[in-house]
Amino acid sequence: MLHHVRALQVGDHETPRVLSVDDLALRRGIPYGSILVDLERYTLVDVLADRSANTFAQWLGEHPGVVDSEPGS
């Protein structure tokens, strides 16, 4: 799965209205990051370097317009 995520390119896009956030291991033995997916378009939005609330809050501040977010399980 990680191989596929790394192969995807995050391009310019409009801010998604509905966003899914989930954790992923960036490397074996390395702390987790966060993956952001547009749930209306089923596209990768961004991959964050960690899974902290502050990093996600900063991302949201830089991308106003997200109406709803679905926390990962």
Query: Residue 57 falls within a domain, yes or no?
Result: yes
Provide mean pLDDT across the span 62-69: 77
Q: Which two tokens stand for residue 48?
A: 């964050």
Considering the domain boundaries, does residue 53 fall inside one? yes
Domains contained in the chain, number: 1
Is 51 inside any structural domain? Answer: yes
Residue 43 inside a domain? The answer is yes
Q: How confident is the model at residue 73 (pLDDT cuts 50, 70, 90)?
A: very low
pLDDT at 7: 59
pTM for this predicted structure: 0.71
Classify residue 16: in a domain, yes or no: no
Q: How confident is the model at residue 10 (pLDDT cuts 50, 70, 90)?
A: low
pLDDT, tens only, 13-63? 678 888 899 988 867 777 788 889 888 888 888 888 888 999 999 999 988
User: Domain residues for 55?
Assistant: 2-10+21-71
DSSP characters for 1-29? Answer: -HHHHHHS-----PPPSEEEEEEEESSTT
8 Å CB contact between 31 and 50: yes
In a domain, 15, yes or no: no
